Structure 1
Amino acid sequence: MLKFHSEQGEISVSSAVFSNITGMAATNCFGVKGMAYRSMTDGLVHLLRREAMSKGVNVIYNEDESISIELHIIVENGVNIPAVCRSIMNEVRYVVNKNTGAEVRAVDVFVDSMIL
Structure 2
Amino acid sequence: MYDHLGLKVKNLDASVRFYEAVLTPLGHVLDSRYDGGAGLGPKDAPALWLYEAAKATGGTHVALQARDRAAVDAFHAAGMANGGRDNGAPGLRLDYAPTYYAAFLIDPDGNNVEAVCMA
Q: Which category of TM-score, normalised to the shorter sequence, fits these structures?
A: 0.3 to 0.5
Structure richer in helix, relative to its length: 1
Q: Report the TM-score, using the length of structure 2 for normalisation.
A: 0.36
